[in-house]
Amino acid sequence: MPLLDDRAATRRLLDRFGFGPRPGELDSLAAGGFAAACQQVLAQTPDTTPLPNLGAEPPAISKKASAAERKQRQKTLRGQQVTAAQWWLDRMAGTASPLPERLTWFWHGHFATSVQKVRSARLMLHQNQALRGLGGGGFPALAKAMIVDPAMLLWLDGQQNKVGAANENLAREFMELFTLGVDRYTENDVREAARALTGWTVNRDAMTSSLAPKRHDNGSKTVLGITGNLDANQFVDIVLNRPDSPRFVAGRLWFRLVSATPPAADVLNRLVAGYGPQQSIGGLLRAVLAEPAFRDPATTLVKQPVEWAAGLMRALGVQPSKLPVTQLEAGLRGLGQVPFEPPSVGGWPAAQAWLTTSAGLARLHLAQLVAGHADVSHITSAAAAGKALGVDTWSQRTTTALAGLTGAQLVAMAACAPEYVVSQ
């Protein structure tokens, strides 16, 4: 197969393992060649931007609370949620180490948890930090953290799971959506796994979870053929030791970072080999970059709305929190994707699902908002717009559409062109 040249491959690297280049970043990184660019990107570590101060979570409302008290509590929770989302978007758009943020975003969609049910931006940020800190290391540590994460327990009713009244939500989704895939377990495995996960409770104020021994089922359980007095950690070990698990995790990462088309059998085998016995996310990423398919011009990927928006703000030097907050949120909501609000435990859709007519209009409005707050006075041609956005060439159709436009109008239209909406 023909392969992308080093510059085009580096641009893809910045798109898929980050959110696209900042001004001048593509030129400097591509100058050393694709292999060196890969090493530099893979060496990135999370920056140390402090968490936003959200203040205390408002106390729970009693049944006797007035309508005004309920409204005020909702307003406070809503304000905390918006602040948290702005903070994360600022990191995506401004960080010098985008890979950890891209992985955090990936894991947020994989271990999808929504503030809509958790009802706490503080707990969502607590989970966000766990995803960031563990998301580039070994998958077992990440999986064990997530199965007792306070936000996850609230999201999948884990705090309601107790001996004699096991709740199966977390056990089922952990196997089907997080680690194994569909039809890789039985209903009895779900029931027994739920028993292994009994007893966990959440302290919302302290943002911690703990095992209450009296609520835990200490009886013998059998999960995926392994019998014992199993607990949460042992359950995770059993699941991750199944040969289906490495293949599932490798496939999901490929789906989000490379292509919506599943990897060929031989490619998947090499990815699993890179993942290795330690189930290393870093090893899996290196294996992805070593695949010729990563440099195949035909391996395109539609950008998710947040990836697209963060990349645009990154390219234009716009800080998300400096934009009118209601307009920014309305733009992302119109596109169907807001941080900390996945629509279900299955996460967000992918590929063509983002290319609807309504999404196209919302994208244009958001692009106009971002471009209107950027210094684009020097962008007076389609070629200049391409350089600013990291697009080397436009199709004849796009070139025609951009003809005669300048400044913010030109940049907004260019940002909505297929060459930018779809990671080439």
CA distances from 288 to 19, 50, 65, 266 (A): 17, 31, 54, 13
Instruction: Label residue 1 by pLDDT band (50, 70, 90).
Output: confident
Contacting residues for 309 by C-beta, under 8 A, at least 6 apart? 89, 331, 332, 335, 366, 370
- pLDDT category, 2, cuts 50, 70, 90? confident
Amino acid at 338: V
Give 165-216 pLDDT, tens digit per residue.
Answer: 999 999 999 999 999 999 999 999 999 999 999 999 999 999 999 999 999 9
Helix (H, G, I), strand (E, B) or coil at 102: helix
Calculate helix-pair angle for 67-94, 98-110, nearest 10 degrees. 140
**d(Cα 86, Cα 322) in Å, to the nearest integer?**
9
Residue 65: per-residue pLDDT: 82
What percentage of the chain carries pLDDT values higher than 70?
Answer: 100
Residue 21's pLDDT is what? 95
* Residue among 207, 211, 232 nearest 124 (CA): 207
Instruction: Please determine, for residue 302, whether its predicted confidence score (pLDDT) is greater than 80.
Output: yes
CB 177 within 8 A of CB 107: no
Dump pLDDT digits (tens) for 222-280: 999 999 999 999 999 999 999 999 999 999 999 999 999 999 999 999 999 999 999 99
What's the pLDDT score for residue 282? 98
Residue type, 306: V
Going through 212-364 in order, the beta strands assigned E by DSSP cover 221-223, 226-228, 301-302
Tell me which DSSP letter residue 354 carries.
G
Token output for 17 = 């393992």
- Mean pLDDT within 355-377: 94
Nearest Cα neighbor of 366 from 316, 417, 309 is 309
Mean pLDDT of 284-292: 98
CA dist., res. 372 & res. 269, Å (int): 47
Q: Using 50, 70 and 90 to split pLDDT, how confident is the model at 61?
A: confident
Question: How far lies 264's CA from each of 177, 222, 254, 268, 388, in Å?
Answer: 21, 34, 11, 6, 35
**How buried is 53 (Cβ within 10 angstroms: 0-12 exposed, 13-18 middle, 19+ buried)?**
exposed
Domain ranges of the chain: 1-119+299-424, 138-258+262-298
The DSSP line for 127-155 is: HHHHHHHHTTSBHHHHHHHHHT-HHHHHH
Task: Give the tens place of pLDDT for each residue, 183-194.
Answer: 999 999 999 999
CA distance linking residue 14 with residue 26, whole number of Å? 8
Token duo for residue 244: 């289906």
pLDDT of 68 strictly over 90: no
> Which tokens belong to 193?
């796994």
What would the pLDDT profile of 327-338 be if each residue is shown by its tens digit? 999 999 999 999
- Cα–Cα distance, 335 to 23 (Å, whole number): 25
H helix count then E strand count, the chain = 22, 6
Q: What is the pLDDT of residue 67?
A: 84
pLDDT value at 220 more than 80: yes
Mean pLDDT of the chain: 95
pLDDT, residue 352, reads 85
**Separation of alpha carbons 400 and 409, rounded Å:** 14
Instruction: Quote the crossing angle between the two packed helices 98-110 and 305-316, to the nearest 10°.
Output: 160
C-beta pairs of 377-385 under 8 Å, 24+ apart in sequence: 377/407, 379/406, 379/407, 379/410, 379/411, 380/406, 380/407, 380/410, 381/410, 382/410, 382/414, 385/410, 385/411, 385/414
pLDDT in tens, 86-105: 999 999 999 999 999 999 99
- Please give the pLDDT value at position 208: 97
